[in-house]
Amino acid sequence: MIEQTLIEQTLSREQARRFYDEFGAKQDQQGWYEDSATAALSAVARFDTASSLLEFGCGTGKLAQQLLSEHLPQHCRYLGLDVSTTMCALAQGRLAQFQPRAEVQQTDGSMRLPVPTASVDRVLTTYVLDLLSLADIEVFLAEAHRVLSQDGLLCAVGLTPGERGVARWVTALWRRIHRSNPARVGGCRPLRLIDSLAGARWQVLHRKVVVAWGLASEVVLARPR
């Protein structure tokens, strides 16, 4: 019962928008634990073969800039979505050099992805699903399934429970902080995304847990069935 209560204690969409409007460029300082996990994702996601990529929760555009510069082919179209006005402005400025093939749109916080069915071959999301309620995660995954092409890939990274050693201790501490005040950790908490992908709709191609400075991140690559 405690675990379920902790998992479902999440920021509202408006609370999340306000938090990340204020957090702004400080998001880039999270690289001490994010960069190694996103690098592990880039190593397996075959971004160099993508023709279209939708990023759900593009933040400051830091990862998008790296992908557009180093991994995505010149013909690949990029669409970044974010609920935060501040984050969208930062991402738009950072990605201006890649226009017109790169676009950033602000959303109203809904899980609806504003693209046609089977129209993209990569859906990317990093450190966003661990902010959402379980119900919103389910809706997002249904939307990702809808918009991905037949051979498309869901590419996801997020906080996950540490499985051993220091990472288990850090997980316990993070959860206590989240339980008392979710905003102190940006609304995020450790989750096992792999559990949400179980079933007939997704084929999980790759899963890896990357630990940086005691904080565990789950890297998942999945294909719609």
Per-residue pLDDT of 102-115, as tens digits, reads 999 999 999 999 99
Could you tell me what percent of the chain has a pLDDT over 90? 92
pLDDT at 200: 87
Work out the angle at residue 81's Cα, subtended by the Cα atoms of residues 56 and 139, and round it to the nearest 5 degrees: 45
Average pLDDT of the segment spanning 165-171: 94
Total number of domains constituting the chain: 1
* 73-132 pLDDT, tens digit each: 999 999 999 999 999 999 999 999 999 999 999 999 999 999 999 999 999 999 999 999
Kindly report the CATH number assigned to the domain that includes residue 186.
3.40.50.150
Q: How far apart are CA 211 and CA 199, in angstroms?
A: 27
* 19-61 pLDDT, tens digit each: 999 999 999 999 999 999 999 999 999 999 999 999 999 999 9
Helices (H), the chain: 2-8, 13-23, 31-42, 62-70, 85-95, 134-147, 165-180, 193-196
| pTM for the whole structure | 0.94
Do the Cβ atoms of 29 and 209 come closer than 8 Å?
Answer: no
pLDDT at 5 over 70: no
pLDDT at 181 over 60: yes
Tell me which residue range forms the domain holding 132: 2-224
Could you tell me what percent of the chain has a pLDDT over 70? 96
Q: How far apart are CA 71 and CA 43, in angstroms?
A: 10
Task: Give φ, ψ of 131 to 5 degrees.
Answer: -95, -20
